[in-house]
Amino acid sequence: MKKLTTISLLIFFCAVTAILTAGLVFYQNSKQSVQSINQNKNTDISNLATSGVTVLDLVEVAKHNTNANCWIIVNSKVYNISNYASSHPGGTRNILDYCGKEATQAFDTKGGQGNAHSTSANNMLDQFFVGNLNQNVSQSTINSSTQKTQTNTIPQNNGGDWEDD
């Protein structure tokens, strides 16, 4: 009986040791996998930054919140309206409040007046398109949109259709 108890205890301790060792090995492997995934994420993010690719997310748009550098989001699309703000028929102030922000409701209601912008205003907005929200865009695309807004002829308010925009 003593022999049987001793052998049983020995088998029990071997089994417990094997289980603990396997758990430790599994833990170390999963910990290394998580570290590897985190390193890959960091590498991917740094590769995006060094490759000149920008993600048009809310954080990026929020950086463009001044009169000289004004981006807005309308219907999940990002627009660079930097050079248009000072020519806006409704006044510069109406646009500057939304630089770096979501402006869909303001655009759709002319800042809460309840009136929709004209077809001409919607077509004009297309000229300032940078990209879709959460889209990856190259720095050259951003530069191109900035240059395009600088060279576009902005209609002046001459009492026509633009007066109500």
Domain limits, the chain: 55-153
Positions of E strands within the chain:
53-55, 71-74, 77-80, 101-102, 129-132, 136-138
Of 60, 82, 76, 41, the residue nearest 139 (C-alpha)? 60
Torsion angles phi and psi, residue 5, rounded to 5: -65, -45
pLDDT tens readout for residues 66-82: 888 899 999 999 999 98
Q: What is the pLDDT of residue 37?
A: 63
Q: What is the pLDDT of residue 86?
A: 81
Residue 137 CB contacts under 8 Å (≥ 6 apart), including other chains: 53, 54, 56, 130, 131
pLDDT tens readout for residues 105-158: 988 888 777 778 888 888 888 889 999 999 888 888 787 776 665 555 454 444
Which residues in 62-98 are b (16+ Cβ under 10 Å) and which e?
A: eebeeeeebbbbbeebbbbbbbbbeebbbeeebbbeb
Residue 146 CB contacts under 8 Å (≥ 6 apart), including other chains: 80, 82
Helix (H, G, I), strand (E, B) or coil at 125: helix
Contact 131, 141 (CB under 8 A): yes
Q: What is the pLDDT of residue 38?
A: 56
Q: What is the pLDDT of residue 76?
A: 93
- Binned at pLDDT 50, 70 and 90, residue 39 comes out as low
Of 49, 85, 46, the residue nearest 64 (C-alpha)? 85
pLDDT tens readout for residues 6-35: 999 999 999 999 898 888 877 777 777 666
Q: What is the pLDDT of residue 150?
A: 58
pLDDT tens readout for residues 121-134: 888 888 899 999 99
- Tell me which fold the domain 55-153 belongs to: Flavocytochrome B2; Chain A, domain 1 (3.10.120)
Rounded (to 5) percent helix, strand, coil in the chain: 55, 15, 30
Q: What is the pLDDT of residue 107?
A: 87
